[in-house]
Amino acid sequence: MNFLQKIKLSFRYGVGYFIVAAIPTFGALWALISNGPDGEGQFICSVLKLISIPIVWYLYKTFDNKNTIYFFLNLGISRTEYYVIPIVIEYIFFRILFRLVVYVYPLINAWLYGGG
């Protein structure tokens, strides 16, 4: 099983993580929008997101079906990959949204209010 296949499979078993992680992700992005996409807003957003990762991971690990991991271990996914791949994918998704807000927010602001 190659790495791309492992990523594809993580969308199946990691769905619980993605759903739980979506709440702090959008919360952190809301903080970025509320505080403005400058240095302070970016700092608050990043801190909120980083604090939420271990909490979400703990919740996911606690409520995840304990036996399902063996279905994926049997396919050649290691225990570390099983837990780390969804976290990395979700974080990349968050960074994409983060960059989008940082770049798009001033443009929308300028378009709405005709200012910078």
Does the protein bind other proteins through residue 58 (CB under 8 A)?
A: no
Place of tokens 């791309």: 4
- Out of 73, 84, 100, 104, which residue is the one contacting other proteins (CB under 8 A)? 73
- Report the distance separating Cα 69 and Cα 66, nearest Å: 6
Does the protein bind other proteins through residue 78 (CB under 8 A)?
A: yes
- Cβ 13 to other proteins shortest distance, Å: 7
Does the protein bind other proteins through residue 74 (CB under 8 A)?
A: yes
Does the protein bind other proteins through residue 67 (CB under 8 A)?
A: yes
Does the protein bind other proteins through residue 85 (CB under 8 A)?
A: no
- Cβ 37 to other proteins shortest distance, Å: 38
